[in-house]
Structure 1
Amino acid sequence: MPSNSPGFSTELQDYDHIVVVGLGITGLSVVEHLCTYAKHADVKVIDTREIAPGSEHLDDDIELFCGGWNTTWLQQADLVICSPGIAVATPEIATVIELGTPVIGDIELFAWQVTKPVIAITGSNGKSTVTDLTGELAKAAGINVGVGGNIGTPALSLLQQNCDLYVLELSSFQLETTYHLAPKVATFLNLSEDHMDRYEGMEDYRQAKLRIFEHAEQALVNGDEPETAPVPSHSLKLHRFSPIHTLGDTDYDIKVVDGEARFRLQRKTSFLTRQLSIVGRHNQSNALVALALLDLAGIDTTQCEGALQSYTGLSHRCQVVEHQKGVRWVNDSKATNVASTQAALSGLEVEGRLYLLVGGDGKGADFTPLKEHLAQLAVTLCCFGRDGDAFMELSNDCVRFQTMEQAIETISTKLTSGDMVMLSPACASFDQYPNFMRRGDAFIALAKQYA
Structure 2
Amino acid sequence: MIPSTICVAGLGVSGRAAARSLLRDGHHVVVVEARDGDRQRAAAAELAGLGAEVRFGAELPSEASLVVTSPGWRPDQPLLVAAAAKGVEVIGEVELAWRRRPEGAAPWLALTGTNGKTTAVRMLTAMLRAAGHDAVAVGNVGTPIVEAVEQPYDVLAVELSSFQLHWSSSLAPRAAAVLNVADDHLDWHGSMEEYARVKGRIYQRAGTIVCNADDPWSTRLAAPYAGQGSGAAPVTGFTLRVPARGQVGVVEDLLVDRAFVADPDGGAEELATLADVRPFAPHNVANALAAAALARAYGVPAAAVRQGLLDYVPDPHRIAHVARVEKVDYVDDSKATNPHAASASLAAYPSIVWVAGGLLKGAEVDDLVRRAAARLRGAVLLGADRARIREALARHASNVPVVEVEGQDTGVMDRVVTEAARLASPGDTVLLAPAGASLDMFADYGARGEAFARAVHRLASGSPR
**TM-score (norm. length: structure 2):** 0.82
- Quote the residue 1:342 is aligned against: 343
1:374 match: secondary structure: helix
Q: 1:415 to 1:172 in 2, by over 3 A?
A: closer
More helix by share: 2
Structure 2 Cα separation of the partners of residues 86 and 431 of structure 1: 19
Q: CA deviation at 1:414?
A: 8.6
Structure 2 Cα separation of the partners of residues 246 and 307 of structure 1: 22
RMSD: 2.9
- Quote the residue 1:276 is aligned against: 277
Mean alpha-carbon deviation: is it higher for 365-374 or for 215-224? 365-374
Q: Structure 1, residues 397-419: CA drift from partner, whole Å, max 9, x if none? A: 42415244234335558978754
Where does 1:32-71 land on structure 2 (aligned, <5 Å)? Answer: 32-36=20-24, 38-39=25-26, 41-51=27-37, 52=40, 54-60=43-49, 61-69=51-59, 71=60
Structure 2 Cα separation of the partners of residues 126 and 303 of structure 1: 21
- Quote the residue 2:380 is aligned against: 383
State the one-letter code of the partner of 1:254. V
Q: Structure 1, residues 298-343: CA drift from partner, whole Å, max 9, x if none? A: 1124134354246452222223344689765321112222222112
- Alignment of 1:22 with 2:10, yes or no, is yes
- Quote the residue 1:189 is aligned against: 179
Q: Structure 1, residues 45-90: CA drift from partner, whole Å, max 9, x if none? A: 1112234362232133311110221x3x2x3223221221223454
- Alignment of 1:113 with 2:100, yes or no, is yes
CA contact (8 A) 2:335 2:433 kept: yes
- Quote the residue 1:127 is aligned against: 117
- Alignment of 1:86 with 2:73, yes or no, is yes
CA contact (8 A) 1:357 1:425 kept: yes
State the one-letter code of the partner of 1:78. S
Structure 2 Cα separation of the partners of residues 29 and 354 of structure 1: 43
- Alignment of 1:373 with 2:368, yes or no, is no
**TM-score (norm. length: structure 1):** 0.84
- Alignment of 1:96 with 2:89, yes or no, is no
- Alignment of 1:398 with 2:396, yes or no, is no
State the one-letter code of the partner of 1:385. L
Q: 1:322 to 1:165 in 2, by over 3 A?
A: farther
Candidates 245, 248, 251, aligned match of 1:252: 248
State the one-letter code of the partner of 1:169. E
Structure 2 Cα separation of the partners of residues 67 and 55 of structure 1: 13
Q: 1:415 to 1:250 in 2, by over 3 A?
A: farther
- Quote the residue 1:209 is aligned against: 199
State the one-letter code of the partner of 2:318. R
CA contact (8 A) 2:175 2:210 kept: yes
Structure 1 Cα separation of the partners of residues 324 and 75 of structure 2: 46
- Alignment of 1:139 with 2:132, yes or no, is no
- Quote the residue 1:305 is aligned against: 306
| Structure 2 unmatched runs, 5+ | 260-267, 406-411, 461-465
- Quote the residue 1:6 is aligned against: none
| Structure 1 unmatched runs, 5+ | 1-8
- Alignment of 1:422 with 2:415, yes or no, is no
2:225 match: secondary structure: coil
Where does 1:321-340 land on structure 2 (aligned, <5 Å)? Answer: 321-322=322-323, 328-340=329-341
Question: What's the % identity of the aligned pairs?
Answer: 28
Q: CA deviation at 1:109?
A: 1.7
Q: 1:212 to 1:319 in 2, by over 3 A?
A: same
CA contact (8 A) 2:226 2:235 kept: no
Structure 2 Cα separation of the partners of residues 221 and 209 of structure 1: 12
Q: CA deviation at 1:187?
A: 0.9
Candidates 163, 188, 197, aligned match of 1:198: 188
- Alignment of 1:433 with 2:442, yes or no, is yes
- Quote the residue 1:243 is aligned against: 239
Q: 1:265 to 1:449 in 2, by over 3 A?
A: farther
Over 6 Å off, 4+ runs: 323-326, 413-417
- Quote the residue 1:3 is aligned against: none
1:19 match: secondary structure: strand
1:167 match: secondary structure: strand
CA contact (8 A) 1:245 1:255 kept: yes
CA contact (8 A) 2:352 2:429 kept: yes
State the one-letter code of the partner of 2:109. I
- Quote the residue 1:228 is aligned against: 221
Structure 1 Cα separation of the partners of residues 152 and 85 of structure 2: 37
